[in-house]
Amino acid sequence: MFKVLVSDPISDLGIQKLFDANDVSVVKETGLNEDELIKIISDFDALLVRSQTKVTRKIMEAATKLKVIGRAGVGVDNIDLDAATQRGIIVINAPDGNTISTCEHTFAMMMAVARNIPQGYKKTITGEWDRKSFVGVELNNKVLGIIGMGRIGTEVAERAKAFNMKIIGFDPFLTEERAEKLGIEKGSVNDIAQKADFITVHTPLTKETRHMIAKPQFELMKKGVRIINCARGGIIDEYALVEAIDQGIVFGAAFDVFESEPPQKDHPFLNHDKVIVTPHLGASTQEAQENVAIDVSEEVLNILLNKPFKNAVNMPHVPSSVLNKLQPYFELGEKLGSFLTQLTKDSIEEIHINFSGELADVDTAPLSRIIIKGVLAHYLDSEVNVVNSMHLAETKGVKIVRQRSSSTKGFTNLITLTLKTKSGEKTIAGTLLNGYGPRIVQIDQYPVDISPEGIFIYISHQDKPGAIGKIGTLLGQNDVNIATMQVGRKIIGGDAVMILTVDKQPSKTVRKLLTDTSEIVSAKEIIL
Ligand SMILES: NC(=O)C1=CN([C@@H]2O[C@H](COP(=O)(O)OP(=O)(O)OC[C@H]3O[C@@H](n4cnc5c(N)ncnc54)[C@H](O)[C@@H]3O)[C@@H](O)[C@H]2O)C=CC1
Ligand SMILES: O=C(O)CCC(=O)C(=O)O
């Protein structure tokens, strides 16, 4: 039974799939502090949060069973991503579900700051009829600067065009072609600062975006500009903004987010008559909350049930078209890693993976992670998973080389894995045979045809008459039934290998008897 903890208010309707799933029990406990979470988190396989719960390293250290943290929303700045990756915890978000709501909230804020709606409301309800103090501006013909042309920024641009605004967008990924297609101008932060009547930010909070609008940018701005932040507190320097308002550069500001949430009572925005604020309401609509909760619970279920998932934040995004192509190779990749590691004696210094044939044109990063998981799991067991396999390999000083080649040795697809150690290297190659499933087709220089499943005895021996018979007899006498046998040799009478699939594990004594046989160099048991 998987246990899921929901630690922030998340739509019940949205997480109905989790309530309905067999083998899943959902516990809702909101408002817990770090210590309270640490006490209970070891019971849970999955944690669902919005933005209130701060998922710290300490919490993750206590979360011995935790496989996935689901963020019902976009920003994951309340989750320690490095800690999650190191501990192999998958972090997923719901990037699409609240785009429209946040875009609409941005517009609500833009119009409110253009027309002084909150200020007018505040005075009117006290009984004062003041029509002079709140003369606003139109959006029509104004320049809107949008910093961050992702999902929300793009939707804001679309709507701003309907208001006949002229738009300048800045985003490191905004090309001239895309800008043209969107009907906007591509500019820099400074262009926006100099030309815009309204500026809105829609980036995540990162090292680059922290205080990207601060004193130097305010000094460039047109008098009377209005600033909106419905993205993350900290993108705009709050103190520099208040100074710019008080200096008469900025007319007013509308903020949904704060550097620290909730803001301290003495925060300069609160009670400033030119700054209007909302308590991080961008995504707070019935629709958005249902959407993100549905998306995140589907993904959490997929992860718990070992099914493909797409919105992992601490793993590269893989489009479903690519995932569908790679999926059939996952089992083969992991088994190749496991098989070869069990054959390798010394500590691994380099992992080389080569993809060819049908796999040469696909982004194989997810498959590489699985192969590396297969390699490391032999030593690290459940400590390693697809999220942390690359990271663990790197922290252990293992070099990873990924290549593509056109040489398929006659197969339509081929994965070749080589593990390099101080004393040499070992290679395995596998393919997915149409109608037959995964096969190991090469071990070192020996061509083989093995279904990667079961208990194997890998024997290195001298190719001498009678050697095979001796091995068969010895195993038979010790009640080890041979299911399949593959023999490979380079030259007649030279080094050879024999790979046996057996019905039960040979005991230590049997393995010793095998290696005591004169023709046998080594006998290694491999379990897949
Ligand atoms: N107020 C609220 O309730 C909500 C706030 N948000 C915030 O809005 C932000 C944007 O959300 P989406 O549009 O869905 O994300 P997105 O990932 O689609 O877009 C973010 C854009 O910011 C751009 N960017 C990153 N660094 C930049 C830089 N230094 N300069 C300029 N652009 C940069 C990226 O290239 C990307 O295009 C999120 O990061 C989240 O923090 C999102 C949803 C609700
Ligand atoms: O859960 C919320 O309401 C916050 C939404 C948000 O900021 C986000 O999705 O990044």
* Mutation to probe ligand 2, out of 280, 285, 286 (largest number of atoms < 8 A from CB): 280
For ligand 1, atom 30, which residue shows the shortest CA distance? 171
**Distance (Å) from CA 187 to ligand 1 centroid:** 17
Residues 221 and 179 in one domain: yes
**Pocket lining: 145 vs ligand 1, CB cutoff 6 Å:** no
**Pocket lining: 277 vs ligand 2, CB cutoff 6 Å:** no
Cβ 369 vs Cβ 390: under 8 Å: yes
Residue 309 in any domain: the answer is no
Residues 528 and 448 in one domain: no
Whether 280 sits among the annotated catalytic residues: the reply is yes
Phi and psi at 90, nearest 5°, equal -80, 130
| Residue 151's CATH number | 3.40.50.720
Position 96 scores a pLDDT of 92
Per DSSP, the chain holds a count of helices (H) and strands (E) of 18, 22
Position 29 scores a pLDDT of 96
Residues 135 and 66 in one domain: no
Instruction: Tell me the mean pLDDT per 10 residues along the chain, length 528.
Output: 96 94 95 96 97 96 96 94 90 94 98 98 97 97 97 97 98 88 96 98 92 98 98 97 98 98 96 97 97 96 87 79 89 97 90 94 92 90 82 88 86 95 94 92 92 95 88 92 89 89 91 90 93
Q: Which atom of ligand 2 is nearest to the CA of 51?
A: 1
Q: Which of 261, 383, 394, 453 is catalytic?
A: 261
Residue 428 in any domain: the answer is yes
Residue 312 in any domain: the answer is no
Cβ 96 vs Cβ 291: under 8 Å: yes
Whether 36 sits among the annotated catalytic residues: the reply is no
Residues 433 and 490 in one domain: no
**Distance (Å) from CA 150 to ligand 1 centroid:** 6
Position 88 scores a pLDDT of 87
Residues 241 and 115 in one domain: yes
- Specify burial of residue 192 (Cβ count, 10 A radius: 0-12, 13-18, 19+): buried
- The range of the structural domain enclosing residue 481 comes to 454-528
Residues 239 and 252 in one domain: yes
Residues 431 and 517 in one domain: no
Global model pTM greater than 0.95: no
**Pocket lining: 148 vs ligand 1, CB cutoff 6 Å:** yes
Residue 21: name the closest of 55, 45, 50, 53 by CA.
Answer: 45
* Mutation to probe ligand 2, out of 92, 102, 105 (largest number of atoms < 8 A from CB): 102
For residues 256 and 278, what is the distance between their CA atoms, to the nearest angstrom? 5
Q: Which atom of ligand 1 is nearest to the CA of 281?
A: 3
Residues 269 and 298 in one domain: no
Taking every pair of Cα atoms in the chain, the longest distance, rounded to a whole number of angstroms, is 109
Position 394 scores a pLDDT of 87
Residues 15 and 72 in one domain: yes
Whether 61 sits among the annotated catalytic residues: the reply is no
Residues 334 and 347 in one domain: yes
Distance (Å) of CA 528 to CA 300, 305, 334, 356, 424? 28, 21, 10, 24, 23
Residues 273 and 345 in one domain: no
Position 508 scores a pLDDT of 87
Q: Which atom of ligand 1 is nearest to the CA of 257?
A: 1
Residues 181 and 152 in one domain: yes
Residue 354 in any domain: the answer is yes
Residue 413: name the closest of 508, 340, 520, 333 by CA.
Answer: 333
Q: Which atom of ligand 2 is nearest to the CA of 75?
A: 10
**Pocket lining: 151 vs ligand 1, CB cutoff 6 Å:** yes
**Pocket lining: 288 vs ligand 2, CB cutoff 6 Å:** no
